[in-house]
A and B are shown apart, each in its own frame.
Chain A
Amino acid sequence: MALFPISSNFEDDFVLQLVPVDTENTMDEVAEACAVHSLNRRVAPREGKILRVRRSSDGTVFPRDMKLGEAGLMPTETVDIIFSDV
């Protein structure tokens, strides 16, 4: 369990943001933490969509229950938070 900074690139937003998360967080929890800083602030919610976490550098969409510490990300690495149907 360790504090882990990531760079959040939230779909429809205009800027990358620093978001502190934890290596024990699931990807759903990571998406939720990132949403706090974009959704309903500058990005309108989309009905019926869920948020998924994607590695920016290679486009890998992480499983929703994967723990952040297992994803092999570097501190401050950028992840895209994208709206998805599944």
Chain B
Amino acid sequence: MTILNQAEWYDISRSTTWTPKYVTEEELFPEEMSGARGIPLEKWATYDEPYKVIYSDYVNTQREKDAGAYSVKAALERANFVDEADQGWVSTLKAHYGAIAVAEYAASTGEARMARFSKAPGNRNMATFGMLDEVRHGQIQLYFPHEYTERDRQWDWAHKAYHTNEWGAIAARHMFDDMMMTRDAISVAIMLTFAFETGFTNMQFLALASDAAEGGDHTFASLISSIQTDEARHAQQGGPALKILLENGKKDVAQRLIDVAFWRSWKLFSVLTGPMMDYYTPAEHRSQSFKEFMQEWIIGQFERQMQDLGLDTPWYWDEFIRALDETHHGMHLGVWYWRPTVWWNPSAGVTPDDRDWLEEKYPGWNSTWGKCWDVIIDNLANGRPELTGPATLPMICNMSNIPIVGTPGDGWNVVDYPLEHEGRLYHFGSEPDRWVFEQEPERYQGHMNFIDRFLAGQIQPADLMGGLQYMGLAPGEIGDDAHNYAWMAAYQKEAAE
């Protein structure tokens, strides 16, 4: 008996579209879950996924991936890497696990929506594997940090973060809820897999894998490389869906979904990945600056993909490129200054050598961000540590749910982007953040950010301790300087000389 090649039977095996007899098509694929936008079933049947995967091959490959990552972990466990590693890198790990692990489980729900409700059979097939991928990513990124929980309580936030009202967790939840938990299948394919995963997951996983390998953290490097290979596959669900929308006169819909998801993803990465890459990772282990990574992976690759599909770059592209020099520096300074409010210990990353690196990568850093740090350093050097921590709250953007920042010092340009809507004053950190809100005010207007909750009296007592309690940050979990201010030694030595 001759066995057919997979290519000869794949299309038939995954074409699971049938004619419903007991329910209507609308009942089988409700528009609010499917998002077919009036495009008929036969058009969705032309969805052509670039990766052709069958279950038995999938399981074999995944088994090998797991075996690889888990065996690296087991082999290196006794080396106790995290005990010897720079505390800045340890903070990167804690921040990463808390912000990512449980969101992976949530992502499996988004994949499940496509697996069940997408009208494209190829999308349903790929999403079934995507759903399993995300469960694996949730499990492996909880299992790996679990061995560290005996070291200190911050590691427990790998699981805890998303179950709290910590401000960063609110921001991440708001964004992921928007793009993968509360959208129809086609919107998820475009916003989650095309805009977020193709555009940004590369940054978090490839860039950090590279920094991890440079720094000798082979366990983390192998873990996230293993995840990235799944992302590379299931991130490709958005492309064929976009093609169908474009072929059927829905370019405006496709463009808007991408423009919303891309900006939202960028803002989250500016607070999460930017500080990790340019401040937490020790300078000698940085393979590129955050901006250089963004230019290579986002501007280079994503822009090309948009053009190949016949889409435009988002209308705010110039502002996005400008912000690569700015936003993450503000997010870093904010996270460090409000360090008790995070579940990791932010690394200041501003020794004289670090500042030389920052000035080289971001010309003008010393006359802008550096001026704020000069005052902080002066306070630490002269016994005024109480002035280096928060006494009030930063204003929080009503879209990104992260602080509203701009450039300080000689380049001072901080601006609020307000909007009065139905009697309520909203604040946004940028024109695109406000634009996202204006696309669907009814979708976003009810959400209360951290400041709204504070002003509504939900946070009691209305002070720092009440805020920490509201965020679920217990003693032993609240953040402090990663190096216990040891980086100040260089400045103290300079002053003594």
Contact = CB atoms under 8 A, between A and B. Distances in A.
A15 B405 contact: yes
Contacts of B309: none
B472 interface: no
Given A14-B333, A18-B451, A76-B451, A37 B369 contact: no
Interface of B: 329-330, 333-334, 337, 369, 371-372, 374-376, 379, 387-388, 391-395, 403-409, 412, 414-416, 418, 420, 425, 427, 451, 454-455
A19 B406 contact: no
Contacts of A18: 392-395, 451, 454
Interface string A51-86: 000001100000000000000001111100000000
B455 A41 contact: no
Contacts of A42: 333, 337, 372, 375-376, 408
A5 B406 contact: no
A14 B411 CA distance: 10
A50 to B, nearest CB: 18
Of A13, A20, A75, A77, chain B has the most CB atoms within 10 Å of the CB of A13
30 contacts: A5-B455, A7-B416, A7-B427, A9-B415, A9-B416, A12-B408, A14-B407, A14-B414, A15-B330, A16-B403, A16-B405, A16-B416, A16-B427, A17-B392, A18-B393, A18-B394, A18-B395, A40-B379, A41-B375, A41-B376, A41-B387, A42-B372, A42-B408, A43-B372, A44-B375, A56-B415, A56-B416, A77-B418, A78-B395, A78-B427
A22 interface: no
A12 to B, nearest CB: 5
B404 A77 contact: no
A32 interface: no
A25 B104 CA distance: 49
B372 A14 contact: yes
B425 A15 contact: no
Nearest to B395: A16
B451 A43 contact: no
Given A5-B455, A14-B330, A42-B376, A19 B415 contact: no
A53 to B, nearest CB: 15
B395 A7 contact: yes
B388 A16 contact: no
Contact of A37 (B388, B392, B407): B392
B376 A16 contact: no
Contacts of A20: 392
Nearest to A82: B412
Contacts of A57: 418
A24 interface: no
A16 B379 contact: no
Nearest to A57: B418
